[in-house]
Amino acid sequence: MNKCGIFDSGIGGISVAKEILKTKLFDEIIYYGDTARVPYGNKNESTIIRYSLEALEFLKNFDINFLVVACNTASAVAVNELKKEAPFPVLGVIEAGVEALKNEDKNSNILLVGTKRTIKSNKYQNLLKNKGFQNITAIATPLFVPLVEEGLVEGEITDKIFDMYFKNIDKEKIDIVILGCTHYPFLTKTFEKHFKNAKLIHSGQAIVKMIKNNYNLKGKKDTKIRLFASDNPEELRNRAEEWLNVGG
Residues that bind ligand DGL in the complex, under the rule CB under 6 A: 8-10, 12, 38-41, 71-73, 114-115, 118, 145, 181-183
Closest approach of ligand DGL to the CB of residue 14, in Å: 10
Closest approach of ligand DGL to the CB of residue 202, in Å: 12
Alpha helical stretches, state H, 111-153: 116-121, 123-130, 144-149
Alpha-carbon span 64 to 90, nearest angstrom:
11
> Is 181 labeled as catalytic in the residue annotation?
yes
- Judged by beta carbon, residue 221 or residue 237, the one nearer ligand DGL is 237
Closest approach of ligand DGL to the CB of residue 195, in Å: 19
- Judged by beta carbon, residue 94 or residue 106, the one nearer ligand DGL is 94
- Judged by beta carbon, residue 3 or residue 123, the one nearer ligand DGL is 123
Nearest residue to ligand DGL, using CB?
41
**165, containing H or E segment:** helix 156-165
Which entry of 181, 198, 210, 227 is annotated as an active-site residue? 181
CB-based contacts of 109: which residues, under 8 Å, 6+ apart? 135, 137, 173, 174, 175, 176
> Is 4 labeled as catalytic in the residue annotation?
no
The number of beta carbons lying within 10 Å of the beta carbon of residue 83 is 15
Angle between helices 14-23 and 203-214 (to 10 degrees): 40
Q: Which residues are catalytic?
A: 71, 181
